[in-house]
Each structure stands twice: as structure tokens, then as C-alpha cells.
Amino acid sequence: MMEICPWCEQGTLSDIFDTVYWELPDGTKAIEITDTPSKLCGGCSARFQADDIVKEIEDQLFLINTSQLGKSISFEQLMKVERLLKRNYFDFS
């Protein structure tokens, strides 16, 4: 099943791996996350992450010691960083 772009509502989406930049939860800095699962629109060329990937990144950054992160990390490496808590107890969704 082809996914339609939520931005232009015409183009079809492809799965890609992209580099994204994310502000840490404490606001101290932004980091580069390479090889992040993303979507690319064939019509308008929009590049973005699906909601589940955004949640995964935000939860992980909230649950790890971000002071040990460098300026750049791959998505796979980020998801492997040991968590200080088992889950985000502040997420009521």
C-alpha cells in the first residue's frame, strides 16, 4: 500500500535513512542523529520522520544520560544507549 505525503497530499512516500538534528530535552545543545529512519515524498521532496520514530527518539533522549553524548550519533547507537529509567513515566498518552 502506497503512503501519500501528509504535506502535499499528492506525492508518494519512500522509506529512507536521513540525518536529523535534535535538541536535547534539557535544552543544552542539539545533536546530529545519522541514519534515522525517515520518509521522503516523491512529489514535494519533503523529508520527515514518522510519529513513532519521533516518539522513540524523544523517549530515548529523555531516559538516558545525555551529557555523555557527543555531537553526532547514529540512530542505532542512540537506541542502544543504556537507559536510566525503564520507560517514560511522564508520558500519559
pLDDT at 89: 60
In a domain, 30, yes or no: yes
Q: Comparing 85 with 66, which gets the higher pLDDT?
A: 66
Number of domains in the chain: 1
Q: What is the pLDDT of residues 47-81, one digit of tens each?
A: 999 999 999 999 999 999 999 899 999 999 999 99
Q: How confident is the model at residue 93 (pLDDT cuts 50, 70, 90)?
A: low
- Are the beta carbons of 50 and 91 closer than 8 angstroms? no
Domain that holds residue 69: 18-35+50-79
Cell numbers for 3, please give them: 503512503
Position 84 scores a pLDDT of: 83
Nearest to 13, CA basis, from 35, 51, 52, 45: 45
9 lies in some domain: no
The answer as to whether 86 is a domain residue is no
Q: What is the pLDDT of residue 87?
A: 67
Any domain includes 59: yes
Residue 13, in any domain of the structure = no
Average pLDDT, the chain: 92
